[in-house]
Amino acid sequence: MLAIGRRPLRPSSRPSSATIGLCPPSTQVWNFLPKNLFEQFRRIANFYFLIIFLVQVIVDTPTSPVTSGLPLFFVITVTAIKQGYEDWLRHKADNEVNKYPVTVLENGRRMGTESEKIKVGDVVEVNEDETFPCDLILLQSTRDDDTCFVTTASLDGESNHKTHYTVPDTEKDLDSLSATIECEQPQPDLYKFVGRMHIYKTDREPEIRSLGPENLLLKGATLKNTQRICGVAVYTGMETKMALNYQGKSQKRSAVEKSINAFLLVYLCILVSKALVCTTLKYVWQSKPGQDEPWYNQKTQREKETNLYLKMFTDFLSFMVLFNFIIPVSMYVTVEMQKFLGSFFITWDRDFYDPEIQEGALVNTSDLNEELGQVEYVFTDKTGTLTQNNMEFIECCIDGFQYKYRDAVSELDGFSATDGPVSKLQEKAGKEREELFLRALCLCHTVQVKEPTGRGQDHTDSMAGVDGMEGCPPPHEQTGFIASSPDEVALVKGAMRYGFTFLGMESKKMKIMNRSNAIETYDLLHVLNFDPVRRRMSVIVRSKSGDALLFCKGADSSIFPRVRQEEVEKIRVHVERNATEGYRTLCVAYKKLSPEEYARADADLQAARLALQDREEKLIAVYNQVEAGMTLIGATAVEDRLQEEAAETMEALQGAGIKVWVLTGDKMETAKSTCYACRLFQRGTELLELTVRTLEDGVRKREERLHDLLLEYHKKAVQDVPPTKPGGSRGWSKPSQDFGFIIDGASLSMVFNSSESSSSHYKNLFLQICQNCTTVLCCRMAPLQKAQIVKMVKCSKGSPITLSIGDGANDVSMILEAHVGIGIKGKEGRQAVRNSDYAIPKLKHLKKLLLGHGHLYYVRIAHLVQYFFYKNLCFILPQFLYQFFCGYSQQPLYDAAYLTMYNICFTSMPILAYSLLEQHICVEVLLDNATLYRSIAKNAMLRWVPFFYWTLLGVFHGLLFFFGVRFLFGNPALQANGQVFGNWSYGTIVFTVLVFTVTFKLALDTRHWTWINHFVIWGSLCFYVIFSFFWGGIIWPFLKQQRLYYVFAHMLSSASAWLVIVLLILLSLLPDILLVVLRKPLGPRARQRQAGESGAGGPKSSAQPLLMRTFSDESNTVV
């Protein structure tokens, strides 16, 4: 409850939070650091490193806290800078929203204040072209018809002007108004609002007014064509619909991240078991007499006094610290940087630039780059995505007679006279019917005429304005119409071509100009809005003669049952023919309402609109009641052209092994023809249809029929198909017969909602059928059903990666649901774009986004991850092995400087450069050979087998490094002057071999050497050498021990050290090089495959093992 104006009668029942900021108010300068640190350490990895660091500080550990503190500090700083920057941007945006000046009426005076200080119940004044600072109930408007125009482009992307109404019969003088408003709890649906306003008047019963969405002005919307309005704030701050609709950036995690976590777990196990083994062995070893504390190596007093178990525990911790480098601290920051920087390549790509809208691609999240290379299912919207959503009126049919609009201007005004029926055999419909039909087209819509720009003055001369228009007849041919749906514009324009022009609406009067250039006005009594469930809309108008007429247009399936059946057949033929040609069809019906009928309908509608509870249901019931028994006049066909290269793109996606599902709200025939046009269905494709039509064939109940059909299709598509290789990973192998599956919304809901026992069974069958079909077409889908389907596939076995692409608000749910959501910067506003992870201007860009960028990103990051684990494994393994030779005393093998710098300096840059620049196959080839996409499908490079390979490689290298040097040190007299090397020389030799091997291994894997790669790889090695000289060349005053003093130089002066370094590096790389040759037998197959691709399909050979992939097609140059 809230009170308006000065006199709050009852206290507000809801807390009135007034801050409007969309982000938690965390971004103060002073508390940024602690807050940010807290947030960062909540991440498990960072927390782990913090613990390690603290252990090092507290416990006597082998390595100084610096060794893990410095990398951690580095990681934290980099992340903090990134987040701080983002916070700053958000802060700036918040301030713009929270702090802009608004005018509040208080005690009859106008007070300026800041938008964030508005409280619920304040009366706010808003001027033209300002945005509303909170959700307002419109009380007063300067327009004299008590309306105001609003555009919600920034909310839902609809750019048309919407009319909102003041609360009926309120006082004009706000000062004397005293009222309370009851309204529902805040909810995110932009188009729903129920409330009630009690107006208190002295000496009278309080009056009650119902409030609906038409009274509610949403925060974020902009006032248009209205000088000033006053409204009372009902929802502010986080309760506004805009704020409720703002879902923080979706927390989508990529499959790669899951793999990383799994690998991390494995390494954590390795780490813990290593520490456990060492601790156990240490105490076993020490139990032998004379080993624990020989005379030359006495313990300190404190050590002697420590409790044995405590000592064991600290020993365990020490080992953990010693080996903790196995979990790469810098991997997270490298992965993050790779993703962040890598995503720029998408925005920079000129191929994504669309000259029409003058924009390129947009990346909303960089977390999912690599997921683009893993897509298995693409769910695409039809309208605006596959098609251009550029509607053109093609033809209409009146009373079963076809009127084709020929694209000739000469015929434009001669429609009635000269435009005969297309077929000479056909006759024209009666003139009356024609005109009725055209009037229906002109009246039954919510289109607005775009007001000429100069026309801001006022509303009073609007009548004159229309009159003036009469003088200069067709201004609308050029001026546009604004509507939420382009179909309506196409229809109105179509009617205009036939001589009926919609001139606009003034104070609930619709004006149309008929063929004889006379103005007809109709009172608009009611609009029965369109919604995707009803799939139709109606208007009730009163003509000059006083008749109440109901015009209804909608999908055939929703109109046909509501009209007299005898008219249906002749129109149905046309509708179906049009639909198969790929046109969008609408049927038009009308009904003359007798005064009594109208009175009842009017009363019912009013009552339903006032209802506080179940208003929706009640309204729909009334709508259904009113829209019955109509007369069908005709049908229209509107063409929606295919997007550029839609067919090529779809073909490429299918070639890449991606299954394309079309999810559309459109009717089946239209969608089917679009599918054919896009080559999603081919000539040979056998269509399995599960629609209301096929379900109603038989005499039996629908459920039984559904059951039978599902089983039949399942048999056809799943069981009879020669079994593909089990294991599923190569599930692509092309079935001998292509199947296409068609299901509509009604059947789908039957599949999902049939009795519990069979539901999961049906769902299962359905899913299996779908998965074996090359293309699935789901038509007549409600937005929620789209998301349902995506979710079903997403959660199916093997949890395939899904991608949704769409352009409209109705696609948002599936865009949010899918792993990767792609928005098309299309005509239906920007809502899809805002909720998407990536936005591209056109459908055709999807091909490069997936096959090019996605593939490369995946390969890059997969290699990055594997390489990181590998390089840290072979870094730490020698250190672990060394424990067996140093009495399990946690003696580090490498100097602290090397331990610290290994991951941040010596080996980090080459892999980062690799992960940004690598193109193992160049983009053109990737785009030309869609099948290459399959080679990385199912997370191929991050499965356990490649992981095992890399781990094995790491173990092999680690063993080699350690024991190679160990055997060398069988005689430590390695210098030509007989002098001996000590333990630090040992470590330095191992480390040198390590750094070089690890870098060369990367160099070996690099297929694309730009100057940056050269610079970074050779630079890193040079840096290592120079650093080692430098580090060992000076007695560092701040170091306690000069362990490495001239160790590196002495190492280089020893021929044996050189020889062993060369030998070990070479031996380590031998398996990798060998693989190149072993992979050779695959060469011809790869060649064959390449040849096959240019033809149709080619043998879908099973993917090559990961490592063999990179060099796939080069071996033909050999011998």
Partner 1 sequence: MMASGYNAKEEDGHHSGAPGNGGAGAVKSKKPDNTAFKQQRLPAWQPILTAGTVLPAFFVIGLIFIPIGIGLFVTSNNIKEFEIDYTGIEASSPCYNCAQNYSWNSTSSCTCKVPFTLEQPFESNVFMYYGLSNFYQNHRRYVKSRDDSQLNGDLTSLKSPSKECDPYRTSDGLPIAPCGAIANSLFNDTLELYHLSNGTRTAVVLMKKGIAWWTDKNVKFRNPGGNANLTVAFQGTSKPVNWRTPVFELDPNDPDNNGFINEDFIVWMRTAALPTFRKLYRIIQKKVDAPTLASGKYELEVSYNYPVRSFDGRKRVILSTISWMGGKNPFLGIAYITVGSVCFFLAVVLLIIHHKYDNRCSSADIPN
Pick out residues in 340-399 that bind partner 1 (CB under 8 A): 344-345, 347-350, 352-353, 355, 358-360
Q: Please select the residue that binds partner 1; options are 251, 977, 1094, 1096, rule is CB under 8 A.
A: 977
Contacts to partner 1 from residues 252-291, by CB under 8 A: 290-291
**Residue (267 or 1000) nearer to partner 1, CB:** 1000
Q: Please select the residue that binds partner 1; options are 29, 89, 973, 1022, rule is CB under 8 A.
A: 973
1119 binds partner 1 (CB under 8 A): yes
CA distance 972 to 980: 5
Task: Report residue 973: phi and psi, to 5°.
Answer: -80, 90
**Residue (583 or 962) nearer to partner 1, CB:** 962
**Residue (524 or 1076) nearer to partner 1, CB:** 1076
294 binds partner 1 (CB under 8 A): yes
306 binds partner 1 (CB under 8 A): no
Q: Please select the residue that binds partner 1; options are 980, 1015, 1022, 1026, rule is CB under 8 A.
A: 980
1094 binds partner 1 (CB under 8 A): no
**Residue (168 or 982) nearer to partner 1, CB:** 982
Contacts to partner 1 from residues 105-124, by CB under 8 A: none
Is residue 387 a contact partner of residue 650, using CB atoms and an 8 Å limit? no
Token duo for residue 274: 């290593």
12 binds partner 1 (CB under 8 A): no
1084 binds partner 1 (CB under 8 A): yes
Contacts to partner 1 from residues 141-180, by CB under 8 A: none
Which among 457-465, 591-599, 609-617, 1053-1061 is the span making contact with partner 1, rule CB under 8 A? 1053-1061
Is residue 613 a contact partner of residue 195, using CB atoms and an 8 Å limit? no
# residues contacting partner 1 (CB under 8 A)? 99
**Residue (301 or 755) nearer to partner 1, CB:** 301
List 367, 381, 556, 807, catalytic entry: 381
Strand partners, 820: 803
886 binds partner 1 (CB under 8 A): yes
Which among 38-46, 486-494, 696-704, 1067-1075 is the span making contact with partner 1, rule CB under 8 A? 1067-1075
**Residue (33 or 1070) nearer to partner 1, CB:** 1070
Distances 1098 to 133, 935, 937 between C-alpha atoms, Å: 60, 14, 18
CA distance 812 to 388: 18
**Residue (73 or 344) nearer to partner 1, CB:** 344
Contacts to partner 1 from residues 831-850, by CB under 8 A: none
Which among 262-270, 648-656, 839-847, 983-991 is the span making contact with partner 1, rule CB under 8 A? 983-991
30 binds partner 1 (CB under 8 A): no
Is residue 144 a contact partner of residue 460, using CB atoms and an 8 Å limit? yes
Distances 891 to 115, 284, 518, 533, 853 between C-alpha atoms, Å: 63, 18, 100, 72, 46
Q: Please select the residue that binds partner 1; options are 1009, 1015, 1018, 1030, rule is CB under 8 A.
A: 1009
Smallest separation, CB 954 to partner 1 (Å): 20
Q: Please select the residue that binds partner 1; options are 887, 1019, 1098, 1105, rule is CB under 8 A.
A: 887
**Residue (607 or 973) nearer to partner 1, CB:** 973
Name the residue among 515, 490, 495 with its Cα closest to residue 443.
495
964 binds partner 1 (CB under 8 A): yes
Token duo for residue 930: 């869609």
Rg, Å, the chain Cα set: 37
Contacts to partner 1 from residues 408-467, by CB under 8 A: none
Q: Please select the residue that binds partner 1; options are 161, 834, 847, 1050, rule is CB under 8 A.
A: 1050
- Amino acid letter, 813: S
CA distance 155 to 190: 8
Which among 565-573, 669-677, 814-822, 963-971 is the span making contact with partner 1, rule CB under 8 A? 963-971
Is residue 3 a contact partner of residue 121, using CB atoms and an 8 Å limit? yes
Smallest separation, CB 424 to partner 1 (Å): 46
Name the residue among 879, 896, 874, 902 with its Cα closest to residue 67.
896
Token duo for residue 652: 């490429």
Is residue 1082 a contact partner of residue 1104, using CB atoms and an 8 Å limit? yes
Smallest separation, CB 1066 to partner 1 (Å): 7
Q: Please select the residue that binds partner 1; options are 42, 248, 295, 309, rule is CB under 8 A.
A: 295
Which among 94-102, 325-333, 589-597, 1064-1072 is the span making contact with partner 1, rule CB under 8 A? 1064-1072
**Residue (351 or 576) nearer to partner 1, CB:** 351
**Residue (293 or 407) nearer to partner 1, CB:** 293
- Amino acid letter, 942: L
Kindly report the number of other CB atoms within 10 A of residue 979's CB atom.
Answer: 12
CA distance 74 to 330: 9
Q: Please select the residue that binds partner 1; options are 65, 972, 1019, 1098, rule is CB under 8 A.
A: 972
CA-based diameter of the chain, in Å? 121
Smallest separation, CB 888 to partner 1 (Å): 9
Which among 374-382, 443-451, 834-842, 1056-1064 is the span making contact with partner 1, rule CB under 8 A? 1056-1064
Smallest separation, CB 1004 to partner 1 (Å): 7
58 binds partner 1 (CB under 8 A): no
309 binds partner 1 (CB under 8 A): no
Name the residue among 802, 717, 887 with its Cα closest to residue 375.
802
1010 binds partner 1 (CB under 8 A): yes
Token duo for residue 807: 């352009």
Pairing of strands 362-363, 222-224: unpaired
Strand partners, 523: 509, 542
Is residue 845 a contact partner of residue 826, using CB atoms and an 8 Å limit? no
Contacts to partner 1 from residues 59-88, by CB under 8 A: 62
Pairing of strands 686-690, 739-744: parallel
**Residue 978: alpha-carbon gap to chain centroid:** 68
What is the H or E stretch that residue 42 is in? helix 29-42
**Can 419 be counted among the known catalytic residues?**
no
CA distance 900 to 1027: 13
Strand order in the sheet with 838-840: 362-363, 838-840, 820-824, 802-806, 377-381, 659-663, 775-779, 739-744, 686-690
Smallest separation, CB 657 to partner 1 (Å): 24
Smallest separation, CB 1084 to partner 1 (Å): 5
Chain position carrying tokens 């599956």? 741
CA distance 829 to 157: 4
CA distance 675 to 693: 19
Is residue 884 a contact partner of residue 282, using CB atoms and an 8 Å limit? no
Q: Name 568's Cβ contacts closer than 8 Å, sequence gap at least 6.
A: 560, 632
981 binds partner 1 (CB under 8 A): yes
Alpha helix positions (H), 737-854: 745-753, 756-772, 783-794, 812-817, 831-835, 845-847
* Burial class of residue 28 (count of CB atoms within 10 Å of its CB; 0-12, 13-18, 19+): exposed
CA distance 978 to 983: 17
**Residue (811 or 895) nearer to partner 1, CB:** 895
299 binds partner 1 (CB under 8 A): yes
Task: Report residue 318: phi and psi, to 5°.
Answer: -60, -45
Smallest separation, CB 597 to partner 1 (Å): 56
In the shown chain, the binding pattern of residues 915 to 944 toward partner 1, with x for contact by CB under 8 A and - for none, equals: --x-x--xx---------------------
885 binds partner 1 (CB under 8 A): yes
1029 binds partner 1 (CB under 8 A): no
Kindly report the number of other CB atoms within 10 A of residue 95's CB atom.
Answer: 13
1102 binds partner 1 (CB under 8 A): no
621 binds partner 1 (CB under 8 A): no
Smallest separation, CB 1027 to partner 1 (Å): 18
Q: Mind telling me the catalytic residues?
A: 381
